Structure 1
Amino acid sequence: MEFGLVLFFLFLTAAMLMVAAKTIRVVPQSTVMIVERLGRFHKLADSGLHLLIPFIDKPRGVLWQGTAPAFSIDLREQFLDMPLQSAITKDNVHIVVDAVVYWQITDPLKSVYEVVDLIGGIVQLTVTGMRSVMGDMDLDQCLSSREEINGKLRLILDEATDKWGVKVLRVDVKNINPPEDVRVTMEKQMTAERNRRALVLQAEGERQAAITRAEGEKQAAITKAEGSKTSAILRAEGAAKARLLAANAEAEAI
């Protein structure tokens, strides 16, 4: 009898704990929880303590690509580090692209009920968006127009994910890597361009030096000529004064 009573109390305690676990829910800060009643949407629970009706109310679970199962939806800004993706440029060069997408959920209901896997959907949209944008550019444009690519990708993703309740804040393309043979060729071209610029600068320096020397020689010749002219004038003036003094002396002697 006593053993049966103990089992009864143990069963009752376990049942009460199970009911309490299904009744009391705490939603963390900056997250929300979708509550369904008998399989249909009932309410959106924000951060804090919430009481549910056991076996009738149920939090909607969320399982997205690369995340653990959860009952709350994070409303903070999040980032998605994309795996390396291949693309083909307008001039048929195969490149490997590394990018990061920064996004934020603005409508939790759409993010759960409008798409099966939100993060998986963002990944696929980013892949197709990168291939589309870079397919309209040649390799040189891709390497030199990083900001333009980021802006176009953000607009494409933001428009496509709006129906999922997501705002794409920015996209950062970190690396664009061409094939090894193309990279070696580009490095050779860059080296040749640097050498050409060095030769141009050297020639320009020599030209400026020659001009400076010529200007100096010209100025020296002008200065010398002016000096000779001044000396001749001074000698002539001196001779004239001497003759004048001699004439005055003779006149006084007479």
Structure 2
Amino acid sequence: MHFFLIGTGILFVFLLILLLSVYFTVPQNQIFIIERFGKFHKLADSGLNMRIPFIDTIKGKLILQVLYHNVILETKTNDNVFVEIHCSIQYRVLKNKAFEAYYSLDDPVSQLESYVFDTIRGTVPKLTIDNLFEEKDQIAQSVKNSLDHVMHDFGIEIIKTLITHIDPAQKVKAAMNEINAAERERKAAQHRAEAEKLVIIKAAEAQKESRILQGEGVAGQRKAIIHGLRESLNELKISSDPNSNITEQEAINLLLVNQYFDTLKDIGAHSKSNAIFLNHNSFDGDFLSNNKDKDSKKNILEAILSADIVRSENSENKKN
């Protein structure tokens, strides 16, 4: 009886082990490779599966999730700059080509690296270091196209390839930064020169407008002085004694002499004033009536008018 119970227990354990060997589970997004007597038999999908114990064996498994692999390689550009390039590959196994993915390639990752090396080292030497940074997306697309063409037959789909990092030598990076800084400084200098040019042009335009307005002011002032002289002469003639023989020419001479001495007084009172030297002997009775002295009369009149302008400017300076 004792031996019977022991035998029954052993048989139960054997049957339990046999039952557990028949049924097995496959995790989600995975495929198990089942072989029978060393030959491929079937693919076990996710969930509960069955096999014949001691006849069917689980040879391996494939993951259907998107995987990634980073490839780092060093190559040279067209302008003889050595760079280190980091390439990230995203790929996955095609479920309908799981057999090819498992049995065609012994080491799919190494195979991916080989094609990446070949593509990048065939593309980068055609580009300069500046163009390399600008066209990294095109390089990544070239790598993807190359891998798609080859790896699809092996049951592997390339999702995306990315050039994640381009690392030149430290001296090269420093030189590129200096070039960039110099270029920016050159542009800044151009902008400063344009701004200074604009300031000079505007100042010249303002000076031009100022000169025009000043000329108009001087002309108006001269007109006002002439008008004032004319009124003063009329008042002098009216207020003078009718019996006196003050002629028009004498009145004009008197006003001119008075204006002349006022100007000299003003010039003497200011050390920084502009001095005007005139011939005192020219103020005789026939000065304004003599035809040969018309040019001299004109010059003296203009000098006196200019002296009035100088006196007005000096007054304005004293106020300021």
Mark yes or no: TM-score above 0.5: yes
Change (3 A) 1:18 1:197: farther
Change (3 A) 1:209 1:51: same
Q: Secondary structure at the match of 1:60?
A: strand
**Mapping 1:19-34, distance limit 5 Å:** 19-34=18-33
Distance (whole Å) between structure 2 residues aligned to residue 22 and residue 211 of structure 1: 96
Q: What's the offset of the Cα at 1:136?
A: 2.3
Q: Secondary structure at the match of 1:109?
A: helix
Is the 1:115–1:164 contact (alpha carbons within 8 Å) kept by the matching residues of 2?
A: yes
Distance (whole Å) between structure 2 residues aligned to residue 122 and residue 101 of structure 1: 8
Unaligned runs of 5+ in 1: 62-70, 236-254
The TM-score, its normalising length taken from structure 2, stands at: 0.60
Residue matched to 1:160 = 150
Residue matched to 1:89 = 77
Q: What's the offset of the Cα at 1:212?
A: 3.7
Residue matched to 1:108 = 98
**Mapping 1:47-58, distance limit 5 Å:** 47-58=46-57
Q: What's the offset of the Cα at 1:60?
A: 2.4
Aligned length in residues: 223
Q: Secondary structure at the match of 1:116?
A: coil
Change (3 A) 1:220 1:114: farther
Larger radius of gyration: 2
Distance (whole Å) between structure 1 residues aligned to residue 103 and residue 38 of structure 2: 13
User: Per-residue CA shift, 1:150-188, capped at 9, x if unaligned?
Assistant: 111111111121121111121111111112222222222
The TM-score, its normalising length taken from structure 1, stands at: 0.74
Change (3 A) 1:212 1:109: farther
Aligned residues: CA RMSD: 3.1
Percent identity between matched residues is 26
Distance (whole Å) between structure 2 residues aligned to residue 173 and residue 215 of structure 1: 57
Return the structure number with greater relative CO, CA threshold 8 A, min gap 6: 1
Is the 1:129–1:157 contact (alpha carbons within 8 Å) kept by the matching residues of 2?
A: no
Unaligned runs of 5+ in 2: 225-320
**Mapping 1:198-237, distance limit 5 Å:** 198-217=188-207, 224=213
User: Per-residue CA shift, 1:2-60, capped at 9, x if unaligned?
Assistant: 47964x56654554454334321211222222222222222222221111111222222
Distance (whole Å) between structure 2 residues aligned to residue 128 and residue 17 of structure 1: 54
Q: What's the offset of the Cα at 1:116?
A: 0.7
Greater share of helix residues, 1 or 2?
2
Change (3 A) 1:212 1:38: farther
**Structure 2 residue 121 is the aligned partner of structure 1 residue 126:** no
**Structure 2 residue 73 is the aligned partner of structure 1 residue 74:** no
Instruction: Point out 4+ residue stretches in structure 1 off by more than 6 angstroms.
Output: none
Distance (whole Å) between structure 2 residues aligned to residue 21 and residue 215 of structure 1: 101
Residue matched to 2:186 = 196
